[in-house]
Every structure is written in structure tokens, then in C-alpha cells.
Amino acid sequence: MKRSTLITVLMVMMWWLAVPCAHGEAPSPDSARMEIERNARIKDSLYNKTFGEAQVKYDVAMGNNLLQEENHEVSRSRIYIIIIGIMLLAVAVVLVVRQRRLIALQKQRLSEESRTLEELQLHGERQQQDGTGDNGAHELSEQDRQFLTKSLAVITEQIESNRVNVDELAAALAMSTSQFRRRLSAITGDTPQGYITKIRMQKARQLLDHVEPQTTILDIALACGYEDQGAFTRAFKRFYGVTPTDYLARNEEKGLKMR
């Protein structure tokens, strides 16, 4: 019995020693740990590489989006600048055209006022000569000329705005109504209403002398501060002895004769 037991023990030991040889040497604990660490490093490397590639792709995509947005912003800014520039240019053109028109109207108005003032002065001189029998021309002082020039400018503005008023006229000249009446009468021999009528008639004659084909008598009446064509026609006939229509007909006849 002891011999057979011993044989059995020996066979078991031989089998135990033979198993590692058949399957390779059993890994030690250190080599297993190193293998695990190496696998972990490989895994981390693969993860970092994948994450890095994904990050690069994301950054590139975000960069493209930001670049596109910046391009859109630049394009919008350029469009706004162009629109603002066009608007400013249009405003500048309008202002220049308007300024030129105002200058032209002011020159025309000054020319008309000068002609009207000269005609009124000549008319006053003739009246004074007829009343006094003096054949010498009456010379106005510089103060009188300034007074008439200022009066004419204010009256012209009132006529253009169709609001002729003697009280406002006197106030514009820093005078009371009674002072204005006395001063005007002393220089021209006319009342304010009579003087205003003369200015209206002088303006009417100037307009009729340079009338456009499409202009009507009513247009001229309105330009002279009359709201009614009949009242304008009666005033014109009292002042010149002919109606506006007859005056135009005479001008046309003179024009044909000159041709």
C-alpha cells in the first residue's frame, strides 16, 4: 500500500511539472501588470489620437463658420456704407440744386426790385414836377433811398405770400403805422395803399413783358397778390389805361413789327 501511494504521488508531481511545458511558462505577476499597463497605454494613445482628430475637425469647422460670418458682416457693412453714401450724395445734389435756385431767385428778385424802385422814383419825380412846376429832378437822400428799398423788399415779400398789411409793413421797418404813413407820403406823395398798388402794377407789367406762353392773366394776378382776376384787371386798367389782355396784344404787335 505504501508503495502504490508513493507511485501515485510521483505521477501527480510529474504531471504538474509537465503542464507548464505544454502550455508555455506561466506568466509572472510583474509581467501581467506590465502587459496590462501597455494595453492601457495603447488604449489611451488611440483615444487621444481619435479625440485630437475630432478636435481638429471641430476647430476647422468652427473656423470656417466664423470666417463665413465675418465675410457676411463685411459684406453687410459695405452695403450699408454704399447705401449711406448714395443717400448723402443725393442729399448733397438736392441741396446744391436748391441753393442754386435760391440764388437765381434772389438775383431775379433783386433785379426786379431795382427796376421797380427806379420806376417808382421816376414816377414820384414826375408827380412832383407836375405839382410844383419845377423842371429840375428831385434827388432823394441816401436815407430816403434806404427807406424805399427796405419798404419795397418787405412789400414784395408780402405780395409773394399774399398777406399785404400796412401795420406789419411798418413793424418790419421798426416804425409805427402813423410814422410810416408820414414818411412815405413825404417821400413819394402816396398813401401806403397807393404805394403798394404801384409796386403791384410795376410787378404785373414786368411779368407781362416777359410772359410765358402757358402763363394766364390769373397766374399774373395771383403773383401780384390779387386773389380775383377781375380786381387785378380793374386796378391795372386804372393804372395804365389798358387791360392786361390789351397790354399783351400791344406787346405782341410791337414784337411782330420789330421782326
Which tens digits make up the pLDDT trace of 54-110?
Answer: 777 777 777 777 777 777 788 778 887 888 888 888 888 877 776 666 565 555 555
Q: In one letter, which amino acid is 129?
A: Q
Tell me whether residue 150 is exposed, middle or buried, using C-beta atoms within 10 angstroms of its C-beta: 0 to 12, 13 to 18, 19 or more. Answer: middle
Q: Which of the two residues, 256 and 176, has the higher pLDDT score?
A: 176
Domains along the chain with CATH numbers: 87-127+144-258 (1.10.10.60)
Phi then psi for residue 199, to 5 deg, are -65, -40
Q: What is the mean pLDDT of residues 23-42?
A: 67
The answer to whether the Cα torsion of 35, 36, 37, 40 is positive or negative is positive
The answer to whether the Cα torsion of 178, 184, 185, 187 is positive or negative is positive
Residue 34 has pLDDT above 90, yes or no: no
Q: What is the mean pLDDT of residues 25-40?
A: 68
Helix axes 192-209, 229-240, angle to 10 degrees: 90
pLDDT at residue 107 in the model = 52
- Other C-beta atoms lying within 10 Å of the C-beta of residue 192: 21
Q: Which long-range contacts (CB under 8 A, 24 or more apart) does 217-220 make?
A: 217/244, 217/245, 220/244
Whole-angstrom Cα distance, residue 48 to residue 163? 92
